[in-house]
Chain A
C-alpha cells in the first residue's frame, strides 16, 4: 500500500494536474487578496483593542470558497481522482495493478489518499504563499492573526474539509463510471450542482457560512475550530465517510474493466 501511494504521488500525469491546480488557485487567491480589503469597527478605540480587531479583520479578509476558487478546486479534484481511479483501467494498466496479491480496497484506498494529498497540497501551499506575498510586510499582524487568533488552524481545517468532500464524491463517481470521460463529466456536474441550485446544506455554501459563524461567535481558538467542524459535520465528514465506504465496497464487488 505504501509503494502504491508512492507510485501515485510520483505519477507524471497526477503531478501535471497538481501543478495546473496549484498555479491556478495561487493566481486566483492572489487576485482575491489584492482586490479584497474590508472595513471593521473598534469599540472602544484603545490601542490594544485596535490591535486585536485589526488582526481579526485581517484574518477574515483572506479568501474562502468563492465561485472561481470552488470551480478550480472541483476541476482539479475530479481530474485527480479520475486519473488515479479510472485512467489506469482505461489504459489496461490496472490489470497488472489489481492482480497483485493485495486486496482491491487497499489499492483503492491508497489511490484515494494519494489524490486527496495532492489536492490538499495544491490548495494549502498557494494559500499560505499568497498570504505572505500580500501581507508579508506586516509580519507582526500576520503572525498574530494566523497563530494568536487561530486563523492558521481554522483555515487549515476549512480547506481540509473542502478537499475531503470534493475527493470523496469524485472518487465514488470515478469508481462507478464506465470510462474516463463519464467520470470527468459526472464528477464535475455533481460537484457543481449545489452551487447552481444554491443548496445551503452542501459545500461551498455550508463551509463558508460555518467559517464565518464560527469566527464571529467565540473568542477561544478551540471553540472556533469545534464549531466549524460541528457546523460542517454532516456534509464534510459524515457524507464523505459514507461515500468512501461505498467506493471501497464497490471496488471489491466490481470487476476491473
Chain B
C-alpha cells in the first residue's frame, strides 16, 4: 500500500515538474534545412516559418502529417515561399519536394508550445493520481479511526 502511495506521489511530482520544465525547454530555437524529401520528428506542436530558395523552374513542396493522414501544406510555384505553417501536434512529419532543379528548404521555429491534447493528458494524469492518493489516505485514516 505504501508502495502504491509512493508511485502516486512520484507521478504527481513528475507531472508538476513536467509542466514547469516544458515551457522553459520549448523556448529554445529550432531550425532545419531540407534538400530532398525528408521526414522529421518534432517533440511538440509548433509554428514554423517555411522558407524556400529555388534555383528556377517550377517546383512542388508539401508537408504531410502521418498522424491525421493528410497534407497540411502544399504549394506548386516557381517563386520563393516565405510562409508560416502550423504543425498541430508533436510527432513525425514528412516534407516532400518535387523539383527538377535543387530547392533549398529551411524550416525555422517561430513558436513551440505543448498542444491542447498534451496539456489535457498532463492535467488528467496529475488530477487522477492526486485524487487516488487522497482517496487512499482518507480510507487509511478512516480505518485507523475505527481500530
Contacts and interface: CB of A to CB of B under 8 A. Distances in A.
Interface of A: 9-10, 12, 15, 18-19, 22-23, 26-27, 30-31, 33-42, 45, 47, 50-51, 53-55, 57-58, 61, 121-122, 125-126, 129-130, 132-138, 140-142
Instruction: Please report whether the interface of chain A is mostly helix, strand, loop or mixed according to DSSP.
Output: helix
Most buried by B among A22, A27, A129, A136: A136
B72 interface: no
Given A27-B18, A30-B21, A133-B118, A54 B90 contact: no
B138 to A, nearest CB: 19
B145 interface: no
A23 B116 CA distance: 24
Contact of B10 (A9, A26, A141): A26
Closest 10 CB pairs of A and B: A54-B92, A138-B91, A26-B14, A137-B117, A137-B89, A136-B121, A22-B10, A15-B6, A10-B2, A138-B67
Contacts of B7: 22, 121, 125
B45 interface: yes
B96 A45 contact: yes
Contact of A23 (B13, B40, B92): B13
Interface of B: 1-3, 6-7, 9-11, 13-15, 17-18, 21-22, 25-26, 28, 32, 37-45, 64, 66-67, 69, 89-94, 96, 115-118, 121-122, 125
B21 A61 contact: no
A41 B89 CA distance: 20
Contacts, number: 152
Nearest to A51: B66
Given A22-B14, A134-B90, A34 B39 contact: no
Contact of A53 (B39, B67, B115, B125): B39
A36 B42 CA distance: 8
